[in-house]
Amino acid sequence: MKYDLLKRGILAVLLIGLAFQVLGQQDSVTTKIPFLKEKSQWADSVFQTMSPEERIAQLIMIPVYSNRDRVHEDSIASLVERYKVGGLIFFQGGPGRQASMTNRYQKLSKVPLMISIDAEWGLGMRLDSTMSFPYQMALGGIEDESLIYEMGREIARQCKRIGVNINFAPVVDINNNANNPVIGFRSFGEDKENVTSKAMAYMEGMQDEHVLANAKHFPGHGDTNVDSHKGLPLISFSRERLENTELYPFRKLMKNGLGSVMVAHMSIPVLDDTPNLASTLSKPIVTDLLKGEIGYEGLVFTDALNMQGVAKFYPPGIVDVKALLAGNDMLLNTMDVKTTIEEVKKAISNGEITQEELDKRVKKVLQAKAWLGLDDWKPVEMENIFEDINSSKAKYLNRQLVEASMTLLRNKEEVLPIEDLADEKLAFVALGTDKETAFQRGLSRYVEADKIIVPKEASIEELQMIKELLEGYSKVIVGVHDLGLKASVKNFGITAEMNFFLKELIKEKPTIVAVFGNVYSLDKFEALDQADAVIAAYQESALTQDVASQIIFGGVGAKGKLPVAVNTTFGLGDGLSTEGGLRFAYVEPEAVGIANKDLDGIESLVNEAIQEEAIPGASVLVAKEGKVIYRKAFGYHTYRQEKAVDINDLYDLASVTKISTSLAALMQLKGEDRFDENQTLGTYLPMARGTNKENLVYKDILTHQAGLTSWIAFWKSTVRKNGSFKWFTFKNHQSKRFPIKVADSVYIHRNYADKIYKEIMKSPVSDEKKYVYSDLSFILAPKVVEAITGQDFVSYLKENIYDHLGASTLTFNPYKYYPEERIVPTEYDSLFRKQMLAGTVHDEGAAMLGGVSGHAGLFGDTNDLAKLMQLYLNAGTYAGETLIKGNTVSDFGECQFCPDNYRALGFDRPSKPGNPNGNSAASAPASSFGHTGFTGTYAWIDPENQLVYIFLSNRVHPTRENTKLYKLNTRTNVMEVVYQAMKK
C-alpha cells in the first residue's frame, strides 16, 4: 500500500513536472510574442463594440496602390468605410502619396487599420524616392549581424514614418535550389544556421521599434522550381527533411518572439496529400502543424490570395474562407470583401468554424494593433517625410551593409587593392551595357583611365577589336552589368558574346572582375575562376558599384562570405579579406561621428556667396581621418548659368600652386637630402650666382622674409602705349619663333622666359628681414628643381608625385588634356590678353612662362588636390608609398619665426588663431596649415583633427575687382562649419 502510494506520488510529481514543462514550452513561444505579453483594455473594449460582420472584416487585408488614379483611391475608401476591413497592404507608389492615403483611410475607419507592406529590402522594394537596402542574399554574406539588427530598426523607423505597422519580412526560406524562380536573391542563403541568425537579427531590429516582423514563406519555399505567383509548387520532401531544413528557422524565430508568419502557396504531400491544395488552405499544415504541434500563437497571414498558386483553383471569396478554415488569422489580398464576409458567415452557420474561434482571432488582431500603437493613432506628419526616410544616417548604415557583404572570391598574388599606380596603365571596362557606369565613375576617383563600353549586342568582330585595343594596358578592370536577378532569366542575361569576351580577356591580361548581379550568375562564366580578382557584388546599384570601386583601390576592405555554394570553385563560406584605408574612402559624415545635417551650413554659406555674386559657383571637399565625408559642387561656371559646376570640374588653383608644385618638389628633395632650406638660392640655382639673390637663405625665402620684391608686372613691358604688343613679344599665331601659347591666339617668343628670369635677378632686395609676401622665388622654383634633378619641372611632379597619388587632374595647361566644358573659366582679361580665360592660367606671369610656373598655373579638381593634401597630412605617405621622407612635411608646416612671422616654410598658417576674420577658420588650431589662391581657392590641413579641406571657386569671374568673397569670409566660414559639427 505504501509502495502504491509512493508510486502514485512519484507519478503525480512527474505529471505535474511534465505539465509545467509543457506550459514552459508554450510560454517560451507565446510569452515572447510582443503583442501577447500584456492584455489590452483597448482591444477588449473595441471588440465589444463590433458587429459579427465587423469582426470578420478585421481579418481581411486588401491591396492598395498609391500610383493609381483617384478612382482606385476612392474605391478603397469605400471598402474601408462600408465594410470596416482590418488592414491594408500597400504595393507600388510613393511615400508621400501612400502616407496621405493612409491618413485618409485611417480617418474613415472605425477601428484603426493595420497597414502593411512588402519591404524585404526596405521601402524601396515598393516605393519610389525611398531607400533600398541590400537584398537578403547579400546580407547572408555579412559576418557582423549587429548591422542587420540596425537595418531592421531603420526599416521599421521608415515604415512608421509613413504609417506602416507590419513589414512582410524577413524571408526565412533556405535557398538550396540555385534554379529557384521566386526566392533566390531574396533568401539569406542555403545554410540553415546562417539564415536563422540573420533572420533573427532582422526580426528583433524591427520588433524592438514596434513594427511587426513576418517570417515567410511557411513551411519553406527555398527548394522549389515553380513560382507560386504563377502556379502551385510541389514539395515532395520527407517530413524528416522538412524538420531538419525548411522548418528549422521558423521554429527558432517563433521561440524567440516572432510576431507573425506568412503561409506559402505550396503542395506538400507529406503534410497534406489533398490534390491541388495549397498549404495556405490546408488545415493539417496551418492548424495542426503550425498552431498545434509547433504551438505558434502569433498572427498567421496567408500569402496573397490572388496568386495563381491558389487563385487558379478557387474564386475570390471562396479561397478566402478556405484560408480562414485552414487556420489563418489574416487574409491577405482579399479581392472580394463582400463575398468573403458572406462566405465566412455561411461557414459559421454551417458549423465549419465557431464564432468563438473567429472571435479569438479577432482579439489577437486587436491585441497586435494595440501593441503597434494603433490604440492611440495619430495622422502621419507630411512635412519633411522624404528627408526623414532618406537620412544620411540611414544611407551610411546602407553603405556599411554593402561594405560588409561585398565578397572577394579571388585575389591572385594579392592584386587587390591595387597599390603602385605610377606603374600601372589601367582600363575600366563596362561589360553588358551601352553606357558609362557608376562603377567606372567610382574607379575614376582614384585614377583617371580609359573607359571602354562593351554592349551585350557587340559582335564577335567588335569584341575582337576591343580586345586588341586593350593590349597596351597593364591591368583591365571589368564590371559586369545589366544581369537578370532571377534564375528564370536564361543564364541571368549573360550572352555567349559576353562569355567569350571575358574568357579571352582573362586569358590574355591581368583582369579584375566585379559581377553586379545574382551571385548564382558567377557559375555562368566559363573562365571566372582564372581571373586575377573576382568580386561578387550580389546586385547592381549605384552603391554596390561605389563600394566595389573602393575595394579595388583600398578605400575600404572586403569582408563578405559567400552564403551559398555557386559551384565547385566558389563554395559556401568562401570570401577573402583585404584592408581598407589605403586610399580615400568616400562615405557619409556619420562614418567619422559627424551628423550630415550639421554640415548643412556649408551649402548655406556657399549659396549666400553665389547669391551675393561673390562667386558664380564652387566645389567643396572635406575629408576626415582619410575619409571623404563631403564633396559637392554648387552654382555655375559663369553668371550666365549655362553650365552647372560638376564635382569633377577643374579650377585654376592660383597660389595654391605654390604648395602643390614648388613645395611638393622641394619637400621631396629635402627628404632625399638633395635640398636643404638652410642653404642659399645660389647653392641650387646657377643663374642666381653673382646677383643680389645668391646669398638669400631658402628658409627666409619660403617664409617670405628674404627681402624679395612682392611681384613684377612682366606683361606691362610687352605693351606699347597704344595697347599693341611689341613685335618681339607676342604673335596671334603659332610659329617656331613664337611656339608658346599664352592664351587663345596669343603666342609668346621662345626666349622670352629668359627675359623674365633676368628681370627677377635684377630686382631689388630689401636689407630688412620682414614679412613681405612674394611670388618671385616660386617663379624661380621650377628652375631650382630642374637644376637639382636634371628633369623638367612638369615631368618631375607627374612622375614622382602626382602619378603615385592618382592625381590625374593636377596639371598645367589643362586645355591640352581636358574638354573645355570641364574647365571653369576665370577672368575676362581686358588689359593684357583681351579675352575670357578658360583653360589657360589667370596669372599673367605664369601665362608668359607658357602656363608652367611654381607660383601659379596648376589646375585641378577638389578630389585630386585633396589627395596631395592627404599626403601632407600623412607626413609624406599615401597608398603605402612614402613620397616625402622623414619629418619633412611636419617640419615645413611649423612656424619658423613666430611671433614676428607666422608663416611656415612655404605654407600659410593661422595669422590670428581663434579670430573669425583671420585667414583660417576660427576653430582651426595653430598647428594647421595650407594656402589660399587669388582666384578664390583654398587648401588647408589640420593634423590635430585629421582634416583636409578644399574650396575651389572663380571669384575673379568676370573681374578680379570683385572682392566680395573676402568680405564674406566664405572659405574660412565653411571650414568653421566642420569644426562646429565636430563639437556636437
Are 333 and 228 part of one and the same domain?
yes
Are 634 and 539 part of one and the same domain?
no
Q: Of 551, 583, 615, which marks where a domain is finished?
A: 583
**497-532 pLDDT tens trace:** 999 999 999 999 999 999 999 999 999 999 999 999
For residue 99, give the 3-state DSSP assignment: helix
Least confident of 226-240, 319-333, 830-844, 960-974: 226-240
Are 456 and 523 part of one and the same domain?
yes
Q: Of 583, 611, 637, which marks where a domain is finished?
A: 583
- Catalytic, 637? Answer no
Q: CATH number, domain at 381?
A: 3.20.20.300
For residues 361-372, average pLDDT:
98
pLDDT of residue 224: 81
Task: DSSP letter for 697, please.
Answer: B
> Does any domain span residue 730?
no
pLDDT band at 31 (very low <50, low <70, confident <90, very high): low
Q: Of 583, 613, 647, which marks where a domain is finished?
A: 583
pLDDT at 12 over 70: no
Least confident of 28-32, 474-478, 614-618, 745-749: 28-32
Are 885 and 966 part of one and the same domain?
yes
Place of cell 503542395: 267
For residues 977-983, average pLDDT:
98
pLDDT band at 289 (very low <50, low <70, confident <90, very high): very high
The closest alpha carbon to 804, from 510, 612, 504, 583, belongs to 583
pLDDT at 980 over 90: yes
Instruction: Report residue 743 as a C-alpha cell.
Output: 592664351
In total, how many domains does the chain have? 4
Cα–Cα dist 923/926, whole Å: 9
Instruction: Report residue 108 as a C-alpha cell.
Output: 474613415
For residues 328-356, average pLDDT:
97
As a whole number, the mean pLDDT across the chain is: 94
> Does any domain span residue 17?
yes
> Does any domain span residue 769?
no
> Does any domain span residue 224?
yes
Are 179 and 320 part of one and the same domain?
yes
Instruction: Report residue 431 as a C-alpha cell.
Output: 561589360
- Of 173, 223, 272, 303, which residue is the catalytic one? 303
Query: What is the share, in percent, of the chain residues with pLDDT greater than 70?
Result: 97
pLDDT of residue 3: 36
pLDDT at 16 over 90: no
pLDDT at 649 over 50: yes
pLDDT of residue 4: 45
- Contact between residue 539 and residue 516 where contact means Cβ atoms under 8 Å apart: yes
For residues 349-357, average pLDDT:
96
**257-278 pLDDT tens trace:** 999 999 999 999 999 999 989 9
Residue 634 carries which side chain, given as an amino acid letter?
A: F
Residue 956 carries which side chain, given as an amino acid letter?
A: V
**772-783 pLDDT tens trace:** 999 999 999 999
Which residues span the domain enclosing 426? 406-583
The closest alpha carbon to 645, from 430, 846, 861, belongs to 861
Q: CATH number, domain at 826?
A: 3.40.710.10
Least confident of 327-331, 429-433, 460-464, 537-541: 460-464
The pTM of this model reads 0.94
Are 112 and 77 part of one and the same domain?
yes
Q: Return the number of other C-beta atoms located less than 10 Å from residue 77's C-beta.
A: 16
pLDDT band at 7 (very low <50, low <70, confident <90, very high): very low
Cα–Cα dist 300/327, whole Å: 8
Task: DSSP letter for 92, please.
Answer: S
> Does any domain span residue 948?
yes
pLDDT band at 309 (very low <50, low <70, confident <90, very high): confident
pLDDT at 454 over 70: yes
The closest alpha carbon to 191, from 562, 681, 743, belongs to 562
pLDDT at 881 over 60: yes
> Does any domain span residue 595?
no
Cα–Cα dist 216/301, whole Å: 9
**32-53 pLDDT tens trace:** 999 999 899 999 999 999 999 9
pLDDT at 362 over 80: yes
Residue 87 carries which side chain, given as an amino acid letter?
A: G
For residue 950, give the 3-state DSSP assignment: strand
For residues 746-774, average pLDDT:
94
Are 289 and 360 part of one and the same domain?
yes
For residues 571-577, average pLDDT:
98
pLDDT band at 308 (very low <50, low <70, confident <90, very high): confident
Cα–Cα dist 65/600, whole Å: 35
pLDDT at 5 over 50: no
Cα–Cα dist 135/594, whole Å: 28
Distances (CA, A) of 396 to 131, 147, 446, 596, 886: 12, 11, 21, 10, 36
For residues 398-415, average pLDDT:
98
- Of 72, 118, 210, 229, which residue is the catalytic one? 229
pLDDT of residue 230: 78
Q: CATH number, domain at 572?
A: 3.40.50.1700
Instruction: Report residue 564 as a C-alpha cell.
Output: 551559398
Q: Return the number of other C-beta atoms located less than 10 Å from residue 489's C-beta.
A: 15
Phi-psi region for residue 247, left (φ > 0), alpha (ψ -120 to 50) or beta?
Answer: alpha
Task: DSSP letter for 245, please.
Answer: I
For residue 622, give the 3-state DSSP assignment: strand
Adjacent-strand bridge partners of 397:
none
More confident residue, 325 or 15: 325
Instruction: Report residue 83 as a C-alpha cell.
Output: 465594410
pLDDT at 315 over 90: yes
> Does any domain span residue 399?
no
CA 103 to chain centre: 33
Are 321 and 339 part of one and the same domain?
yes
> Does any domain span residue 780?
yes
For residues 97-103, average pLDDT:
98
Adjacent-strand bridge partners of 300:
261
pLDDT of residue 236: 85
pLDDT of residue 15: 38
Sheet with 260-263: list strands edge to edge.
214-218, 260-263, 299-302
Are 890 and 968 part of one and the same domain?
yes
Instruction: Report residue 902 as a C-alpha cell.
Output: 607666422
Are 572 and 616 part of one and the same domain?
no
Are 293 and 255 part of one and the same domain?
yes
Cα–Cα dist 464/192, whole Å: 45
Task: DSSP letter for 792, please.
Answer: -
Are 15 and 53 part of one and the same domain?
no
- Catalytic, 804? Answer no
Q: Return the number of other C-beta atoms located less than 10 Å from residue 352's C-beta.
A: 14
pLDDT of residue 859: 98
